[in-house]
Amino acid sequence: MVNRRKVAVLGATGMMGQKFVQLLAHHPWFEVSAVAASDKSVGKTYASSIGSRREANLPDELGGLVLTEPKPRTLDDPDLAFSALPAEVAGPVEEDFAKAGIPVFSNASSHRMDQYVPLLNPEVNPEHAVMVEEQKRKTKTDGIIVANPNCTTAILTLSLKPLNDKYGLETVVVSSMQAVSGAGYPGVASLDIMQNVIPFIRNEEEKVEHETNKILGSMSKPAGITVSASCNRVPTLHGHMEAVFAKTRSAATPNEIVKAMREFKGTPQQLKLPSAPQHPIIVREEEDRPQTRLDVDEGNGMTVTVGRVRRDPALNGVKYMALGHNLVRGGAGCSILNAELFLAKKIIK
């Protein structure tokens, strides 16, 4: 692919928006041509607007981009857009882009459960991508909305995919330990989270339970897996750790589960997409891994690291720990890999 597509990042100054810009800065297929944020940022350069919120060093040419409103006409005719807008804002903005013929790859929850919006974790349910054909028929444009899962769900469903494919899933119980960057900027007040665990994240458990079933189901029917989630905010910076308990429909030993996870490869790996990690899932043998500090950047943040796979006597199934980067596999990286999949499959031009 020679011509890099011009892309706009909506909500570019936030936690997720900055991760998009960072991952896109040297991308072989995409070039950031526009950045958009709220009224308070419009007219400022990207570098001055993110100021002390800056997450990583920016190439000079991106730091000099001037922020605009997230409206299709105010941007320089992008080929596609990545949305990192808050859910309260994203819904109508993303629809406007789609109506203007611009494909939108979104991190926001606004359209995730819409009937014809694929909720894609690219190694897990790439076959759902064709759901956008119905969107194209309805809008009569090539503009579409493609959502990626909530961060906790992205990590969970990738780890569950080999189990579901080989043995069928009946019940999944998950307890999450979620990093503070998952709450955006400024997120949880430091006085609330230091030396503390907060056993509540608004709407998170419902998202995990519903989205998991949409992703692991068929295009027309949720999977019918009983999913029960308990979500907690913990004082780590990046990386969501999840304690997963799963009962499969046909019996599987922990060794068989480990083998299925290790052998698993998805369409992004087969197509050798630029953001596809070589190993979507890594299973570690050590008794005390995964650990957030040691494993969060595995596969450039796109790999889910699993460990402590063992028998679960309560469900008569297996239990394990899974760790993933909430801003990469759980957000911007997943969205970018979705866009690569759509280009490689020629679903968008």
CB of 327 to ligand NAP, least distance (A): 5
CB of 245 to ligand NAP, least distance (A): 23
Q: Residue 308 — left, alpha, or beta (φ > 0 → left; ψ -120 to 50 → alpha)? A: left
CB of 214 to ligand NAP, least distance (A): 16
Q: Which of 22, 41, 121, 153 binds ligand NAP (CB under 6 A)?
A: 41
Binding mask 300-329 for ligand NAP (x = CB under 6 A): --------------------------xx--
- 231 annotated active-site: no
Q: Which is nearer to ligand NAP, 64 or 224 (CB)?
A: 64
Q: Which residue's C-beta sits nearest to ligand NAP?
A: 14
User: At residue 189, what is the residue type?
Assistant: A
Q: Which of 151, 238, 279, 334 is labelled catalytic? A: 151
Q: Which of 85, 100, 173, 328 binds ligand NAP (CB under 6 A)?
A: 85
What is each CA distance from 155 to 51, 69, 134, 302, 324, in whole angstroms?
A: 30, 32, 28, 9, 6
181 is a contact residue toward ligand NAP (CB under 6 A): yes
Listed in sequence order, the residues at least 6 apart from 106 whose beta carbon sits closer than 8 Å to its beta carbon are 82, 83, 85, 90, 94, 145, 146, 147, 148, 335
Please tell me the number of Cα atoms within 13 Å of 181 on its side-chain side. Answer: 24
CB of 244 to ligand NAP, least distance (A): 19
Total of chain residues touching ligand NAP, rule CB under 6 A: 31
Q: Which of residues 127-146 bind ligand NAP (CB under 6 A)?
A: none
Q: Which two tokens stand for residue 135?
A: 């969107």
Any idea which residues carry the catalytic annotation? 151, 240
Residues at the contact surface with ligand NAP, assessed by CB under 6 A = 11-17, 37-38, 40-41, 70, 84-87, 89-90, 107-109, 150-151, 181-182, 184-185, 326-327, 330-331
